[in-house]
Amino acid sequence: EAQVTQNPRYLITVTGKKLTVTCSQNMNHEYMSWYRQDPGLGLRQIYYSMNVEVTDKGDVPEGYKVSRKEKRNFPLILESPSPNQTSLYFCASSLWGGDLNQPQHFGDGTRLSIL
Amino acid sequence: GQQLNQSPQSMFIQEGEDVSMNCTSSSIFNTWLWYKQDPGEGPVLLIALYKAGELTSNGRLTAQFGITRKDSFLNISASIPSDVGIYFCAGQRRSGGTSYGKLTFGQGTILTVHP
């Protein structure tokens, strides 16, 4: 089954304790992206990657890191989480043929609470 | 960062009514997308628009790419209870450089349909 898998689905942690949210897709997609969703703000793009070893900032990259060492994985790293990073996070992937004519497939989300 | 203004923020309608929502931007987008998000799930692509003036349908859904490339509209005809959810518009620029893969979302329209 084609899917985007995020782990964990839920996490409660404390300020300053490094954490990683994993994202894996089994569709051989070139493009992957991370978003955060907050009430009244919709989804905001954190980072995206157009292929292995190619990453770029979205609209809200501060406080986050990503890596794309393999095509299927795109982990989101919070080196020193803070309460304002409490949010619902989505990973997404799509084929990339030079335009965005392929739909982005979203994971089921990761709800992070930073105390 | 760039933001899309989506309206209305919420709608409460009776089953069978038609629904209209729109997104506007202060700058041009080359691609407009409409997504729906059900509770506890990631967004799912409904319609993609690639040309100014384009009108595209997907069942009871119809979306248009504004002629100025700064806006887009989504209409749902004869609403049914399963239309309930959050609808998001998203825009992308197909310019070169590092912003090529960025996707910007509207704040979302929460749709409630009363049987």
Over its length of 115 residues, how does chain B's per-residue pLDDT go in tens digits? 557 899 999 999 999 999 999 999 998 888 899 999 998 889 998 999 989 999 999 999 999 999 999 999 999 999 999 999 999 999 887 655 555 667 889 999 999 999 8
Cα dihedral A63, A45, B106, A108 sign = negative
Residue A26 is predicted with a pLDDT of: 94
- Residues A40-83: tens digit of each pLDDT: 888 999 999 988 999 999 889 999 999 999 999 999 999 999 99
Neighbours of B29 (CB within 10 A): 26
CA B1 to chain A, closest CA, distance in angstroms equals: 5
Q: Cβ separation of A42 and B88 shorter than 8 Å?
A: yes
Helix/strand/coil percentages in chain A, nearest 5: 5, 50, 45
Judged by CB atoms closer than 8 Å, whether chains meet at B105 and A56 is answered as no
> ∠ at Cα B103 (B97, B106), nearest 5°?
140
Check: CB of residue B113 under 8 Å from CB of residue B60: no
Please indicate whether, in this complex, the C-beta atoms of A107 and B42 are within 8 angstroms of each other.
Answer: yes
Partnered with residue A92 across adjacent β-strands are: A33, A106
Mutate to test the interface with A, among B105, B109, B110 (most CBs of A within 10 A): B105
Q: How far apart are CA B31 and CA B16, in angstroms?
A: 30
d(CA A112, CA B84): 25
Quick one: B54 exposed, middle or buried, by C-beta within 10 A (0-12, 13-18, 19+)? middle
The neighbour count for residue A32, using CB atoms within 10 Å, is: 29
Q: What's the DSSP call for residue B52?
A: T
Nearest Cβ partner for B102 among A45, A92, A101: A45
- Whether omega before A39 lies within 30 degrees of 0, making that bond cis, reads no
Of B9, B33, B98, the CB nearest to A56: B98
Contact A31, B101 (CB under 8 A): yes
Phi, psi values for residue A80, rounded to 5°: -140, 80
Helices (H), B1-84: none
